[in-house]
Structure 1
Amino acid sequence: MSSTQLFGIHAVQAALEYSPDKILRAWVDSQRQDARLKQVIDDLAALGIQPEKTERKKLERMAEGKNHQGIIVSVELPAMRSEDQLKRDVEALAEMAFYLVLDQVQDPHNLGACLRTADAVGAHGVIVTKDNAAGITPTVCKVASGAAETVPVYQVTNLARVLRWLKEQNIWIMGAAGEAEQTLYDMKLDMPLALVMGAEGSGMRHLTRQHCDFLVKIPMAGQVESLNVSVAAGVLMYEVFRQKQVKR
């Protein structure tokens, strides 16, 4: 079983709300007694977890200099889901599908940030490749701020095969590419959709691009050529979200 540590009141509250059964241990500052921290301690106690009173210097070493706000918890890492589970979940959907697909995105900070935005827009999951890609790690969980527990992450061995299957389920495949002729604001995106983002620097692989139904770009008015992949994914996901809200 793999585990990670979460630091700070907000992160611990998120764990209490979304995955209380994954909390393994807790440590609290023995000198701190404010109301917010006391509430978190009470919530942990209600789960049968008695936080260990610890000297502040030890907490600081455990947190490696991060702002722990007097509390650290150890939690079991979320499990990656399989291609078979993805198929079952897609077939069980009772609403319009919306997935984010990351084609060999390797930076765990990008994956964590994508998960956080995917949660915010109500995406049904994030699909990642097994090879040359980030999976669920402690860093991903920290950056995701609870979203690694709420957004399913599906790890697949053959992305092209998965994209073909999604298309058979009447889900449109939209790829993000800087050289696309159409911008995301030119497109009607209120439909079952899988948004594909390419890797940092290299973008989508050729075979992945071939399986896209259409490509879009984010209009750029400045001098930089592209956005960070998690920022670009956020812009694209929120335009999909906006269009769905307008229809309602």
Structure 2
Amino acid sequence: MTEEMTNIFGIRAIIEAIESGSTINKVYLQKGLRGELYYQLDKLIKEKKLTTSIVPVEKLNRLSKNSNHQGAVAQISPIDFCDLETLIEETLESGKSPLFLLLDQLSDVRNFGAIIRTAECTGVNGIIIQKNGSAPVNAETIKTSAGAAFKMPICKVDHIKDALFQLQAVDIKTVAATEKTEDSVYDINFNQPIAIIMGSEHRGVNPSILKMVDYKAKLPLLGEIASLNVSVACGAFLYETVRQRLG
């Protein structure tokens, strides 16, 4: 799979893709676009709350291989996203103790892909991401996940808080991975319906999210480096969950 395979270009083509229900990762737009067709696209982008980025024409040329992009290129997701409410219901009906993973605006596609791969290997029921500000599922994500992105249910929500409310409403406990606590990951009971929240590479879990969770936990760091890569930390949390559940 190549990145170009997931790109479409031209304003009318993008409008048709959106109207047909295609999952759009991001729309790249040239500054200063005008005209009736562009305003139609802009209206759809706002209605669907799609992520956009204003970029130089040189980037659009690269994304479209110098074809007639009309100032607009869209990246189509290679996977279909799941409805969170449906996924929660199906997971509860399965009789197994739920395990969900929420990624609070993780931005690096390689970290995202590595986390998807680990999540699939550790029995996570689904990954939840925010529509805006999150790493896309693109060719690089798929490659890094070793194809696990095609097997792992992934849900998009308007805000991570929305997902927390839904999970807590059905008694799924939430635990945030954060250094802003004295509690260790080894103090948490993962033998219960639970959702793990991992933060972004630069700021961690949003403070407003930390106020909502049931538990906060950190990994012990015995060296001089102050933090772990988020995909490594996520793996440690997930495998502590596996250890407890197998035990």
What range is the shorter-chain TM-score in? 0.5 to 0.7
Partner Cα separation in structure 1 for residue 83 and residue 207 of structure 2: 24
The RMSD of aligned alpha carbons is 1.7
Query: 1:87, CA displacement in angstroms?
Result: 4.0
Contact 2:101/2:126, CA 8 A, preserved across alignment: yes
**Structure-2 residue corresponding to 1:165:** 166
Contact 2:85/2:166, CA 8 A, preserved across alignment: no
**Structure-1 residue corresponding to 2:134:** 133
Query: 1:201, CA displacement in angstroms?
Result: 1.3
Q: Where in structure 2 are there 5+ consecutive unaligned residues? A: 4-76
Query: 1:205, CA displacement in angstroms?
Result: 1.0
Quick one: which amino acid aligns to residue 213 of structure 2? C
TM-score normalized by the length of structure 2: 0.67
Contact 1:106/1:200, CA 8 A, preserved across alignment: yes
Query: 1:181, CA displacement in angstroms?
Result: 0.8
Partner Cα separation in structure 2 for residue 159 and residue 224 of structure 1: 29
Q: Cα–Cα, structure 1 residues 163 and 93, in superposed 2: closer, same or farther, change >3 Å? A: farther
Contact 1:101/1:126, CA 8 A, preserved across alignment: yes
**Structure-2 residue corresponding to 1:95:** 96
TM-score normalized by the length of structure 1: 0.67
Quick one: which amino acid aligns to residue 173 of structure 1? T
Contact 1:79/1:136, CA 8 A, preserved across alignment: no
Partner Cα separation in structure 1 for residue 117 and residue 185 of structure 2: 21
**Structure-2 residue corresponding to 1:80:** 81
Quick one: which amino acid aligns to residue 82 of structure 1? D
**Structure-2 residue corresponding to 1:220:** 221
Moved more, 111-120 or 161-170: 161-170
Query: 1:169, CA displacement in angstroms?
Result: 0.8
Contact 1:80/1:136, CA 8 A, preserved across alignment: no
Partner Cα separation in structure 2 for residue 176 and residue 192 of structure 1: 17
Partner Cα separation in structure 2 for residue 241 and residue 121 of structure 1: 7
Contact 2:128/2:157, CA 8 A, preserved across alignment: yes
Q: Where in structure 1 are there 5+ consecutive unaligned residues? A: 7-75
Query: 1:89, CA displacement in angstroms?
Result: 3.3
**Structure-2 residue corresponding to 1:241:** 242
**Structure-2 residue corresponding to 1:177:** 178
**Structure-2 residue corresponding to 1:39:** none
Partner Cα separation in structure 2 for residue 111 and residue 176 of structure 1: 16
Partner Cα separation in structure 1 for residue 236 and residue 189 of structure 2: 15
Find runs of 4+ consecutive structure 1 residues off by over 4 angstroms.
none
Aligned length: 174
Contact 1:105/1:133, CA 8 A, preserved across alignment: yes
Partner Cα separation in structure 2 for residue 94 and residue 136 of structure 1: 29
Q: Cα–Cα, structure 1 residues 84 and 188, in superposed 2: closer, same or farther, change >3 Å? A: closer
Q: 1:93-135: per-residue Cα shift (whole Å, max 9, x none)?
A: 3210001110000111011000000011111011111110012
Q: Cα–Cα, structure 1 residues 87 and 188, in superposed 2: closer, same or farther, change >3 Å? A: closer
Map 1:48-127; keep pairs closer than 5 Å: 77-127=78-128
**Structure-1 residue corresponding to 2:49:** none
Partner Cα separation in structure 2 for residue 166 and residue 176 of structure 1: 17
Q: Secondary structure at the match of 1:230?
A: helix
Query: 1:136, CA displacement in angstroms?
Result: 1.2
Contact 1:100/1:123, CA 8 A, preserved across alignment: yes
Quick one: which amino acid aligns to residue 187 of structure 1? I
Partner Cα separation in structure 1 for residue 130 and residue 238 of structure 2: 19
Contact 2:102/2:197, CA 8 A, preserved across alignment: yes
Partner Cα separation in structure 1 for residue 188 and residue 209 of structure 2: 20
Q: 1:1-35: per-residue Cα shift (whole Å, max 9, x none)?
A: xxx349xxxxxxxxxxxxxxxxxxxxxxxxxxxxx
Q: Secondary structure at the match of 1:196?
A: strand
Contact 2:92/2:98, CA 8 A, preserved across alignment: no
Moved more, 111-120 or 179-188: 179-188
Partner Cα separation in structure 2 for residue 99 and residue 177 of structure 1: 17
